Amino acid sequence: MSRQYTVFACQKCGYQSPKWLGRCPDCSNWNTLVEEMQSPQEAPAMNAVFAEAPKKLCEIEAAGEIRDEIGIGELDRLLGGGIVKGSIVLVGGEPGIGKSTLLLQLSNKLSANGDTVLYVSGEESVGQTKLRAERLGKASESLYIVSQTDLDTIEGYIDKLYPKAVVIDSVQTISRSGLSSSPGSVGQVRECASRLTQLGKSKGISIFLIGHVTKDGSIAGPRVLEHMVDVVLYFEGERHAAFKILRAVKNRFGSTNEVGIFRMTSNGLEEVENPSELFLSERPKDTSGSVVVPVLEGTRPLLVEIQALVTSSGFGVPMRRAIGVDFNRLSLLVAVLERRIGLGLYTQDIFVSAVGGVKVDEPAADLGIVMAIASSFKDKPVDTGCCILGEVGLTGEVRGVTQTELRVKEAGRLGFKRCIVSKPDAKSIRIKSGMEIIGAASVREALDIVIS
């Protein structure tokens, strides 16, 4: 029997040290080294994933990837048109946000055509998974579910069924018997992910891995986990919010500028085909502090309502609160309104929110936030048929933004009649949609147009 020994492994990057260190020398993170028990063993024989000899690049014929559509439009578009054979996809997100629900729906869709799909649950029993699947619709005859955490046993199921796709829920619960460290440790996650990646590539099986996240939002385990896989998807949005945004942060077979928008219902996650209309469906009429801003989520334009509430402060220091909007950006814009426009906001509590649980983090929403604050402060509503777009500088000027025509076209499609943009953008727009495009060189000029 081999003698075990103790190492300290970094939970962030996988660095190993014979003694405990407060700070990891490799990734410079504090308090990330955790004690693990390991035993020396012979290195396993690694089979070649690709058995091809080296070729000259100029002699290789380019061939497109073979993709299989899932049947979930938002997810197909996010992946670049469907699943590539043999690809490894990692899905991360907060607990309870919908990772398992989405991949169970994906498994059911893929197996509906008669293709075998294996769903491996390491956190729930087969009965619990069945209860969760009943509300998602009728289960396919080709969908197999097993509750297992041993990697060798899972590989045996894959060899026996030879499925088209495999879902591992989650990679932190899977362990290999040859390693003495506990499931979820750096060594186990790295080894299991490597074995699954090799298995998927060699057999042409698409594998989906669900990954836990740490308290700072990154996927738990070694950073090399994200380097191994082909696609990394992150769920964004509050756990109890109705809308969930699935964003690709890595995609070897497509663009990382796309997002998928879903809505959690009693029947699982439903794709939102027209999110702009949905976000504005409950917008109040003739109410001060409400402004519509066309923002971009990836390459998709969305019309988001920005609401602001300005009220007299009952304390010496006024409060500033932001939901879905960057707090530092809000403080900067309030300072511009005080200094450049002369609004007395230093005695006012200011609350700003992006409605619908959307996070607005691009400068294109600056002018809309400024107009919403001014509208609430003066108690004068903004025209409901007007949308506002532009970046605000520290001197109070309005700057141009990217993809202006795409944003304006989306606003025109939903019935907006006017759009306030920067003067350079107003000159460059060539849209013949009947919308009135008004250019503003400064915040003061925009205020005179919108709240006069």
Q: What is the pLDDT of residues 269-281, one digit of tens each?
A: 898 888 888 788 8
Domain total in the chain: 3
Q: How far apart are CA 3 and CA 346, in angstroms?
A: 68
Q: How far apart are CA 255 and CA 374, in angstroms?
A: 38
Q: How far apart are CA 359 and CA 322, in angstroms?
A: 10
Which neighbouring-strand residues pair with 150?
175
Domain-located, residue 56: no
Domain-located, residue 165: yes
Same domain, 187 and 252: yes
What's the per-residue H, E or C state across the chain?
A: CCCCEEEEEECCCCCEECCCCCECCCCCCECCEEEEEECCCCCCCCCCCCCCCCCCHHHCCCCCCCEECCCCHHHHHHHCCCEECCCEEEEECCCCCCHHHHHHHHHHHHHCCCCCEEEEECCCCHHHHHHHHHCCCCCCCCEEEEECCEHHHHHHHHHHHCCCEEEEECHHHCECCCCCCCCCCHHHHHHHHHHHHHHHHHHCCEEEEEECECCCCCECCCCHHHHHCCEEEEEECCCCCCEEEEEEEEECCCCCCCEEEEEEECCEEEECCCHHHHHCCCCCCCCCCEEEEEEEECCEEEEEEEEEEEEECCCCCCCEEEECECHHHHHHHHHHHHHHHCCCCCCEEEEEEECCCCCECCHHHHHHHHHHHHHHHHCCCCCCCEEECCEECCCCEEECCCCHHHHHHHHHHCCCCEEEEEHHHHHHCCCCCCCEEEEECEHHHHHHHHCC
pLDDT of residue 46: 47
Same domain, 317 and 227: no
pTM: 0.78
Domain-located, residue 48: no
Task: Report, as ranges of residue numbers, the positions in the chain whose pLDDT lies below 70.
Answer: 1-5, 37-52, 62-64, 221, 239-240, 432-433, 452
What residue type is assigned to position 273 of the chain?
E
Residue 225 · residue 193 · CB < 8 Å: yes
Of 216, 239, 273, which one is at a domain's C-terminal end?
273
Same domain, 367 and 397: yes
What residue type is assigned to position 156 of the chain?
G
Q: How far apart are CA 422 and CA 367, in angstroms?
A: 9
Q: How far apart are CA 376 and CA 372, in angstroms?
A: 6
Same domain, 228 and 286: no
Name the nearest CA neighbour of 98 among 228, 261, 207, 254. 261
Name the nearest CA neighbour of 220 among 210, 230, 208, 229. 210
Same domain, 154 and 187: yes
Cα angle, residue 229 at apex, residues 96 and 239 outer, rounded to 5°: 15
What residue type is assigned to position 200 of the chain?
G
The torsion angle over the Cα atoms of residues 99, 73, 117 and 147, rounded to 10 degrees, is 10
Same domain, 355 and 422: yes
- Which CATH number goes with the domain that contains 338? 3.30.230.10
Same domain, 142 and 238: yes
pLDDT of residue 45: 45
pLDDT of residue 1: 44
- Which CATH number goes with the domain that contains 261? 3.40.50.300
What's the pLDDT tens digit per position in 223-265? 778 889 999 999 887 766 777 889 899 999 888 878 888 988 8
Of 273, 291, 320, which one is at a domain's C-terminal end?
273
Q: What are phi and psi of 388, to 5 degrees?
A: -130, 140
Domain-located, residue 192: yes
Domain-located, residue 331: yes
Domain-located, residue 47: no
pLDDT of residue 42: 46
Domain-located, residue 130: yes
Same domain, 194 and 213: yes
pLDDT of residue 2: 52
Of 273, 300, 323, which one is at a domain's C-terminal end?
273
Q: How far apart are CA 389 and CA 236, in angstroms?
A: 24
Same domain, 258 and 287: no
Domain residue limits at 24: 5-38
pLDDT of residue 166: 97
Same domain, 30 and 93: no
Same domain, 434 and 408: yes
Domain-located, residue 61: no
Q: How far apart are CA 422 and CA 21, in angstroms?
A: 53
pLDDT of residue 64: 66
Same domain, 255 and 107: yes
